[in-house]
Chains A and B, each alone.
Chain A
Amino acid sequence: MSVIALLEVRNLSTDIPTRRGVLHAVEDVSFSILPGECLGIVGESGSGKSVTCRSILGLLAPPVRIRGQALFDGADLIAIGEAERRRIRGHDIAMIVQDAVSALNPVLRVGGQIAEGLLEHGIVRSRRAAQKRAVDLMRKVGIPSPEDRVSDYPHQFSGGMCQRVVIATALACAPRLLIADEPTTALDVTIQDQILKLLVQLRRELDLAVILVTHDMGVVAETCQRVAVMYAGQIVETATPTELFENPRHPYSAALLDCVPTLDGPHPERLRPIEGLPPDLVSPPAGCRFHPRCAMATDDCRAGPVPLTEIGPGRSTRCLRHADMIPDAGDAGNLAETRA
């Protein structure tokens, strides 16, 4: 990888003090994203996806403690001051949140909300110019007759249109990285598809890097170049979607894929849910965090923390028995050896 990463997250840990003790919401998360790349972060609720994004942007207030590094343009987003971080937020890195309808301020006109970032970051000086840019942005995200709708209020928009407005607010300052935190979860399926297509199209047009947080494997397959699977605050596997779908190398990823209903391919009697519950992050299990729910767990898995191991170019897993997961077990050893 000769291209310099746009954002490089190294050993990010986020601790949230609670009444019951310190909750390790994110632990030792590292990933990087190249300019123009789309990285998917998948995992179930509470696996630390959103906390990771918010930690990077500095949106979590004390007493939350964040350790590690998030290098963007040579600046460590974790270490720099709030004022500097605010100049980057919205300007270089934008974020869109899950529920678009409530992400828009109900009492402000959408045009004003789209234009506001331009004024705040000093890209446009006059209100009129900002308003004109707002209309252009609304057209770009596919809102019909933007000239008429620019002075409407959010409640006059449907859920899908609201998400388009939110995307327009995020893209106003032409950021290089867009963090989309479950952008389609609150929408119905047909609209989800439209929004994803829009994101893919905008990414290409604007050469935008996208971190797409989702719990939907299908979304990942359609849009991302690379995927990171998160479980209990850790990244357990990174791969390309094809690699992940064809040969998951972490039991959790495999189990997650088994939960997705498919139309083609073998039909199991019923979908296989993952037995048990995700661990309590105040006192996570010793060793591999997945071992209590893992069918392949051995004593080694319980013994000590499992490191994220690189098993190929851009591919890593946090499983001791990843080699056993290669189909056609006979070649498994050979493959692992040739790679090593």
Chain B
Amino acid sequence: MTSEHAAHTLPSRRIPSLPGRARLAAVLGQRTAATIGAVLITLIVLASVMAPWLSPYDPIAQDLRNALKPPSLEHLFGTDNFGRDIFTRVLYAAQIDLRIAFLCVFFPWVLGTLLGCIAGYSGGFIDTVIMRTVDTFTAFPFLVMAIGVIAVLGPGVTSMYIALTLAGWSMYARIVRAEVLVAKRSEYVLAARALGFSHTRIMLRHLLPNVITPTIIFAMTDIVLVILSTTTLAFLGLGLPPPTPTWGTMIAEGKSFIFTAWWMVTLPGLAIVLVGISLSLFGDGVADWLRERE
């Protein structure tokens, strides 16, 4: 009751100290944009998971008699040149695309954060080696690097993970290193050293939790870029081979029919736009929240 009262009297940016979940709810309540983003993402994830129940069609089986049908009540998004229901394929593709996007942010985040932390904490030669590597990796344009790696490894999900990790980790390393350089001069690190703690313990338990927030904020904005990049790679034929549905490959397939069957390109494209918008709305909200907590 007191917390409700506090929520009304405090300026809108101040969050009363509530237990974790209630506080998240309070934060979301104040941020319409973030809430819309969160709701949309939840709906998209639910829809993709529930795809077998939401749609009677098979995403892969061909039905050539019903090829290139425009959107109707029977086929909400129409059908493609093989007669497959595009709505169904968009739903199934969401499973794959969202997982790839999430992991393609997660792996670079882990790798970059660890290496940046080691570089900043160790200093000297190790720092130089890691940071010059970072410079080298940052020098390549993101997509060019990713395409290059996939070209070497061959298309597929695994090479996509490797490619985007290699292309994306360097920014995280830079952010974390800068934070560690500041944090390692703090009294609590000195105190931890005076207590005889090992470097690993100081880095992982004492420094990392204090420097991680900016990387999460960056990851929140990075995920939109990554989802666009992964669909771009899929569009270029460097993602999963057909007939597995992904948004990028669906657009690539629809490209030849753009003047006769606009829905083949447009509707999967809109799915990407929708995911991009929801993620950036949600990501901005979370980033703001984390920044305020700092």
Residues of A near any B CB (own CB < 8 A):
57, 59, 61, 86-91, 94-99, 102-108, 116-117, 120-121, 166, 169-170
Q: Quote the shortest CB–CB distance from A168 to chain B (angstroms).
A: 12
Interface stretch, picked from B197-205, B219-227, B249-257, B259-267, is B197-205
Known contacts A106-B210, A108-B209: A121-B191 contact under CB 8 Å:
no
Interface pair A99/B206, CB less than 8 Å apart = no
In whole angstroms, how far apart are the Cα atoms of A180 and B128 in the complex? 36
**Of the candidates B187, B195, B206, which one forms a contact with A89 in the assembled complex, judged by CB atoms under 8 Å apart?**
B195
User: Whole-angstrom distance between the alpha carbons of A107 and B206 in the complex?
Assistant: 8
Return the CB mask of B8-30 against A: 1 if under 8 Å, else 0. Answer: 00000000000000000000000
Chain A residues with Cβ below 8 Å from B205 are 108, 116
Q: Is B140 positioned at the interface, with any CB of A under 8 Å from its CB?
A: no
| A contact residues around B123 at 8 Å (CB) | 61
Query: B76 — which chain A residues lie within 8 A by C-beta?
Result: none
User: In this assembly, does B243 line the interface, its C-beta being within 8 Å of a C-beta of chain A?
Assistant: no
Asked whether A90 and B195 contact (CB < 8 A) given A105-B210, A108-B209, the answer is yes
Contact indicator per residue, chain B 162-193, by CB within 8 Å of chain A (1) or not (0): 00000000000000000000000011101111
- Do the beta carbons of A97 and B201 come within 8 Å of each other? no
Q: Are B196 and A89 in contact (CB under 8 A)?
A: yes
B192, B195, B197, B206: the one contacting A94 at CB < 8 Å is B195
Closest 4 CB pairs of A and B: A90-B196, A90-B195, A89-B196, A95-B194
Residue of B nearest to A106 (CB): B210
Q: Within the complex, which residue of A61, A87, A97, A105 is in contact with B196, where a contact is CB–CB below 8 Å?
A: A87
A99 touches B196 (CB 8 A): no
Total A-B residue pairs with C-beta atoms closer than 8 Å?
70
Q: How far is the CA of A96 from the CA of B123 in the complex (A)?
A: 25
Tell me the complex Cα distance, A175–B188, Å.
Answer: 19
A36 to B205, CA, bound (A): 33
Can you spell out 10 A-B residue pairs with CB atoms less than 8 angstroms apart? A86-B198, A94-B195, A96-B191, A102-B187, A103-B188, A104-B191, A106-B188, A108-B205, A108-B209, A116-B201
Q: Is the CB of B196 within 8 A of A107?
A: no
Nearest A residue to B212 via CB reads A107
Q: If the complex has contacts A105-B210, A108-B205, are A116 and B186 also in contact, measured as CB distance less than 8 A?
A: no
Q: CB-nearest residue of chain A relative to B192?
A: A105
Chain B CB count within 10 A is highest, among A105, A106, A120, for A105
- In the complex, which of the residues B187, B191, B198, B201 contacts A169, with contact meaning CB atoms closer than 8 Å? B191
Contact status B196-A121, CB under 8 Å: yes
Question: What is the minimal beta-carbon distance from B244 to any residue of chain A, in angstroms?
Answer: 42
Q: How far is the CA of A90 from the CA of B202 in the complex (A)?
A: 14
Known contacts A95-B194, A117-B196: A105-B201 contact under CB 8 Å:
no
Partner of B197, one of A97, A106, A116: A116
| Further pairs besides A102-B187, A103-B187: 13, Cβ < 8 Å | A86-B196, A89-B194, A90-B196, A95-B191, A103-B188, A103-B191, A105-B192, A105-B210, A106-B210, A107-B210, A108-B205, A116-B205, A120-B195
Name the CB-closest residue of A to B124: A62
Q: Closest CB of chain A to B75's CB: distance in Å? A: 52
Q: Are A90 and B188 in contact (CB under 8 A)?
A: no
Query: A53: shortest Cβ distance to chain B, in Å?
Result: 9
- State in angstroms the CA–CA spacing of A96 and B195 once bound together: 9
Residues of A within 8 A of B193 (CB): 59, 89
Q: Flag if A102 contacts B206 (CB, 8 Å).
A: no
Would you give the shortest CB distance from B259 to chain A, in whole angstroms? 58
| Interchain CB contact under 8 A, A105 and B206 | yes
Question: For residue A107, which residues in chain B have a CB less than 8 angstroms away from its CB?
Answer: 209-210
**A57, A87, A103 interface centre (most CB from chain B within 10 Å):** A103
